[in-house]
Amino acid sequence: MRRLALIAIALAGVLPAAAQAQQRTRLTVYTALENEQLQPFKQAAEAALRDVEIAWVRDSTGVITARLIAERANPRADVVWGLSVFSLLQMEGLDMLEPYTPAGADALRPSMRSDRSPMTWTGMDAFVSAICFNTVVAQQRNLPRPSTWDDLLNPAFRGQIVMPNPNSSGTGFLTMAGWIGRRGEAGAWDFMTRLHDNIQQYTHSGSAPCNNAARGEFGVGISLDMRAVTLRNQGAPIEIIVPTDGVGFDLEATAIMRGTRNLDAAKRLADFAVSRAAMTVYGRFYALLALPGVDPSVQGYPAEFSQRLVDADFRAIALQRDRLLRDWSARFDGKSAPRN
């Protein structure tokens, strides 16, 4: 009898907690957002959707995309929130995204949402490839401050520029796509060939160039603008330069995975992701938001930032990705003997 009583007491203690846990739906969300963004985004979402719990799986864009595609046969993610639209387009091609038009998605900038109906993805914000410029190194080495991509062709930068290898990193491809969009393919190859002479290395990680510039290893790192903001906050003497001659940009976007077991909660998270409240949180980190009329609170971006974005059909460029990368490889990869 005593044992029974004990069990009853134990159950009484456990049950309310269990019930509470059951009420909240746990969504597995794959993301490539920055580490420090995870907590604010999660808090905002959970505050808005009281019965949803966000469980992040965060990694670099390449790793997360590879994981999503590898898991395609049996998706583990319910929602992708904060991943490059290039990755999402690739997944759309593999029929991995659940079509759903979130409430309020029609208000987004047309270029920053899926053109399908129902939509397969919705944009959150834009991020661009930018120049991380180490001012201390620049002083030591007498490097002029670059304000355009073409400025980087100055022989003074020989051996001082690091950029991501487009074959290994989405950031690298994004940068390259921006050049192609702006200059046309032939012009872009010409530019890259000349830039190649100044490049010290093509890194495998998209964030490494900026990290290296921040550590003073090199004067210039071509990376995402987001990366540079984080580093400067830590005290790195770097300036974030958004070249005035047009930058390639990428969107961070949201999508529901086809086959999710929590479709209802996933839809509500997708709704939240395009909401004004969400955009306000994005605005703490990004300068260009998908929803017009929300003022970003992030500091350090030029006012006319959005005009610097290259106006190009990235979807068309993305479709040629394989060929472009192969060409890139043939030009710069194999023969890129280490230079000292």
Partner 1 sequence: MSEAALPVVGSRPRLSADQVAMRAGLWLAVAFLALFLVLPLGTLLMRAFETPQGGFAGVANFRDYASTPALLAAAWNSLWTAALTAVVVVPLAFLYAYGLTRSCMPAKAAFRAVMMLPLLAPSLLPALALIYLFGNQGMLRGVLLGHSIYGPIGIVVAQVFYCFPSAALILAVALSTADARLYEAASALKASRVRIFRTVTLPGARYGLVSALVVVFTLVMTDFGIPKVIGGQFPVLATDVYKQVVGLQNFNMGAVVGIVLLAPAVLAYLLDRWATRQRAATLSGRAVPLRPLPRRQRDVPLLVLCLVIAAVLVGIVGVAAWGSLIRFWPYNLSLTLDNYDFARFDASGWDTVWLSVRMATLVAVIGTVIVFIIAYVLERGAQDGVLPKLARFAASVPLAVPGLVLGLAYVLFFNHPANPLGFLYGAVAILVLNSLVHFYTVGHLTAVTAIRQLDPEFEAVSASMRVPVWVTFGRVIVPICLPAILEIAVYLFVSAMTTVSAVIFLYGPDTKPAAIAVVHMDEAGQASAAAAMAVVILGITTAAKVGQLAVGAVVARLTQAWRR
The C-alpha atoms of residue 149 and residue 159 are separated, in whole angstroms, by 16
| 210 is a site residue for partner 1 (CB under 8 A) | yes
| 334 is a site residue for partner 1 (CB under 8 A) | yes
Strands 220-224 and 249-257: unpaired
For residue 318, give the nearest of 241, 249, 231 by alpha carbon: 249
Do residues 308 and 242 lie in contact, with contact meaning Cβ atoms separated by under 8 Å?
A: yes
Q: Which of 101, 114, 175, 205 binds partner 1 (CB under 8 A)?
A: 205
Q: Which of 70, 95, 293, 323 binds partner 1 (CB under 8 A)?
A: 70
Q: How far is the CB of 110 from partner 1 (least distance, A)?
A: 28
For residue 212, give the nearest of 277, 159, 139, 161 by alpha carbon: 161
| 120 is a site residue for partner 1 (CB under 8 A) | no
Nearer to partner 1, 90 or 244 (CB): 90
Strand partners, 97: 257
| 200 is a site residue for partner 1 (CB under 8 A) | yes
Nearer to partner 1, 109 or 196 (CB): 196
| 157 is a site residue for partner 1 (CB under 8 A) | no
| 237 is a site residue for partner 1 (CB under 8 A) | yes
Q: Which of 6, 23, 39, 300 binds partner 1 (CB under 8 A)?
A: 39
The token pair at 166 is: 């487009």
| 109 is a site residue for partner 1 (CB under 8 A) | no
| 275 is a site residue for partner 1 (CB under 8 A) | no
Name the CA radius of gyration of the chain, rounded: 22
| 105 is a site residue for partner 1 (CB under 8 A) | no
Q: Which of 113, 183, 227, 308 binds partner 1 (CB under 8 A)?
A: 227
Three-state DSSP at 124 gives strand
DSSP 314: H
The token pair at 181 is: 């969009």
Q: Which of 62, 82, 243, 248 binds partner 1 (CB under 8 A)?
A: 62
| 122 is a site residue for partner 1 (CB under 8 A) | no
Q: DSSP string spanning 193-237?
A: HHHHTTEEEEESSSSHHHHHHHTTSSSEEEEEHHHHHHHHHHT--
Number of residues that bind partner 1 (CB under 8 A): 66
Nearer to partner 1, 26 or 315 (CB): 26
Do residues 95 and 109 lie in contact, with contact meaning Cβ atoms separated by under 8 Å?
A: no
Cβ neighbours of residue 82 under 8 Å, at least 6 residues apart?
Answer: 31, 32, 33, 37, 41, 124, 252, 253, 254
Q: How far is the CB of 340 from partner 1 (least distance, A)?
A: 5
Q: Which of 147, 216, 244, 294 binds partner 1 (CB under 8 A)?
A: 216
Q: Restricting to residues 309-328, which ones interact with partner 1 according to CB under 8 A?
A: 322, 325-326
Strands 122-134 and 249-257: antiparallel
* Contacting residues toward partner 1, per CB under 8 A: 28, 34-36, 38-39, 42, 55-60, 62-63, 65-67, 69-71, 73-74, 76, 90, 136, 165-170, 200-205, 207-208, 210-211, 214-218, 227, 230-231, 234-237, 322, 325-326, 329-330, 333-336, 338-340
